[in-house]
Amino acid sequence: MTRIVDPDPRLLRVALTPDPAAWPRGDLAAAILADVERTPQRRGLRVPLAGWLATPQPVALTRLAALGVTLLALVAWLYLLGQRPPTPVPLSNGDVFFVRGGDLWRVAPEGGEPVRLFETPDVLEFGPIWSPTGERAILITFPGDAPRMSMDVINADGTGRRHLAGPPEHVLASFAGDPSWSPDGRFVAFVRERKGFPRVAIMDVDTGSARIIDSPWPINDPSWSPDGRWIVGHTPGDVSSTVRVVTIDAETGQTIVVHTDRGRIGRMTWLPDASAVAYAIDRPDSNELHLLRTDGALERLDTGGLQPVEALLSPDGTRIAFAAAVKHCTAAPHVMRLDGSELVRLEGESWLAGWSPDGEWVIVTTEKPFDPLVGGLVAIRPDGSERRTIVPWTNQDVALESGSGYCNRERPSFSGIGWRGFRP
Amino acid sequence: MTAIELRGIERQADRALVERARDGDRQAFGQLIEPRVPTLYRSALSILRHEADANDAVQQACVDAWRELPRLRDPDRFDAWLGRTLVNRCRMILRSHRRVSVREVSVDTLTTEPGGRDRATDDWSGVDAIRRAFGRLSADHRIALVLHHVEERPVAEMAALLGVAEGTVKWRLHEARRALQRALQREDA
């Protein structure tokens, strides 16, 4: 076999150039134009004001003076507004939070009108990731004009938003995200990527002090164990790459590779007794559902031939919800006991979003390619006996401005949903 | 009419379309985007190595471009600006892979030699190793390698597209090559 360590540019070009005949799937141009039809342009004041001032000089000066006075009044009004305490967003226990159109929304679990918590047109938000005590949450933020991901923290009532961590200012393209809370809600483990090498960092949320875990491997998706002792993560890669599952001792920062495999690992969730993590592994030939013990012992869960792509343990650890690939770009959420019994298909083409804190409901999101107004956020009993729509996507407030993409894997509702835990 | 004159006319026509689209003319935007979709798609496919992701990136980048078009001051910079929007979308999609995993058929169309060659031969094992190693790279490293080695863009053009200094581009290329070497060594191990 040819060993290549430093490929010459010609070979690199051959390896990375797509077939000149490669063509977008479906009628991509038509899909784009359909989205454009639904999308308003973002316009500033620059052009109208320029026209308004393009008049003979004395008139222009008068108008400029008037504009100055108006701006001064506006600044004074904003200053006075800033002196008033912020109006807290009323919040009840167990509300569902979701991201739609890049903004964060709240809705009662039984449904009703959703409330937009933040309207930030220049920043996309993901999450929220609630602390185990339900007192605060982390939002992932992504400014549309810069390839930088950061994290903000908010209180449970939506107030007190502050920047938590981000890449250094001088680094144009970098990343801080994938947060996981410590069980006591004081610390957060997250990935801080610089120069393409993701490392796990642990930060005290109150003081902002952080330490970087030293590891010879890049580590993604840290997940803190319920006993606070371990943080588990895995190396990045695609479906055909070697992947290592790594545990980090939360006290000492020591890293240990507990399992090596091939494929792409999805989200990892812990059993409540902190004895194992569950995850789906995505491979070119077959997908599997794994239960990996902290000592490295691996158990393959029987999914009856289904191809899991994403899995989440129930809060009590007795069941596992997983999305199984059904056809191109779609999946069907299922629930079963860990021994493979009581397998239930919850819904057709939709995605797994999360469990309710009491384990009584599973939330799924349904969405059709090319048609963003079909489906919604749906809560289903784990045994499939009851189903209710929390938010239909036909709701005008949350209808996506830009529509749904063809095979839209970056679905905001999917990557951003959290059912806030009940206060003790 | 010479080729240079023809290109000048095309540029003028494009400029007029950009100006109309900037003023909210959706039809003009359609005329502007449609011929560019295949090229944008192949750029995205090079970076993401995934057909559905490439589709998503192009679609989202074009919608972003439509939404933000009134902010584009110089219509002649439309293509560079659109390329930048696409690159940012590719970055986001690579980031989102941390959370979303979908079983997909791999991109078998990533071949360039007409007639195809046997993947089992040693020649192809090198190409496959590069592709696997490329899959381990960060978004920025992928983008740098594709813009330079696949699209053969000069450093100055990459700097304009990425909105960074030329020195930064050179450094990123250097880092990307080193990252690829490390990834290839891991593949070999």
Q: What ipTM was predicted for this assembly?
A: 0.73
Task: Give B-chain residues touching A30 at CB under 8 angstroms.
Answer: none
Residue of A17, A129, A180 for testing the chain B interface, max B β-carbons within 10 Å: A17
pLDDT of residue B9: 62
Residues B8 and B142: their CA atoms lie apart, in Å, by: 33
Specify whether the CB–CB gap between A227 and A274 falls below 8 A: yes
Average pLDDT over residues A77-88: 49
Residue in chain A closest to B185 (alpha carbons) equals A5
pLDDT of residue A315: 87
The mean predicted confidence, pLDDT, of chain A is 75
pLDDT of residue A401: 33
Average pLDDT over residues A127-146: 75
Average pLDDT over residues A391-414: 43
**Choice between A241 and B7, residue whose per-residue pLDDT is larger:** A241
Task: Give B-chain residues touching A284 at CB under 8 angstroms.
Answer: 106
**Choice between A80 and B180, residue whose per-residue pLDDT is larger:** B180
pLDDT of residue A175: 61
pLDDT tens digits, A246-264: 999 998 989 999 999 988 8
Asked if pLDDT for residue B172 goes beyond 60, the answer is: yes
Asked if pLDDT for residue B126 goes beyond 90, the answer is: no
Task: Give A-chain residues touching B66 at CB under 8 angstroms.
Answer: 36, 39, 41
Specify whether the CB–CB gap between B19 and B62 falls below 8 A: no
Average pLDDT over residues B26-49: 88
Specify the range with the lowest mean pLDDT, choosing from A44-53, A120-129, B142-151: A44-53
Total beta-carbon pairs less than 8 A apart between chain A and chain B: 254
pLDDT tens digits, A174-187: 566 778 999 888 99
Whether B61 and chain A come into contact, CB under 8 Å, resolves to: no
Q: Per the CB < 8 Å rule, is B38 touching A24?
A: yes
How close does chain A come to B167, measured CA to CA in Å?
13
Specify the range with the lowest mean pLDDT, choosing from A77-86, A266-275, A338-347, A404-413: A404-413
**Residue among A2, A19, A23 minimizing CB distance to B112:** A19
Asked if pLDDT for residue A336 goes beyond 60, the answer is: yes
Tokens of A320: 């596992």
Which of B:111-150 have CB within 8 Å of A? 111-113, 122-123, 125-127, 129-132, 134-141, 145-146, 149-150
* CA-based nearest residue to A382, from A420, A325, A342, A330: A342
Residues A377 and B111: their CA atoms lie apart, in Å, by: 40
Asked if pLDDT for residue A80 goes beyond 90, the answer is: no
How close does chain B come to A408, measured CA to CA in Å?
6
pLDDT of residue B184: 83
Report pTM: 0.56
Residue in chain B closest to A369 (alpha carbons) equals B56
pLDDT of residue A3: 57
Burial class (CB in 10 A: 0-12, 13-18, 19+), A381: middle
pLDDT bucket at A413, cuts 50 / 70 / 90: very low
Residues B48 and B179: their CA atoms lie apart, in Å, by: 17
Burial class (CB in 10 A: 0-12, 13-18, 19+), A20: exposed
Residues A306 and A262: their CA atoms lie apart, in Å, by: 19
Residues A163 and A146: their CA atoms lie apart, in Å, by: 17
pLDDT of residue A167: 56
pLDDT of residue B67: 87
Residues A357 and B5: their CA atoms lie apart, in Å, by: 67
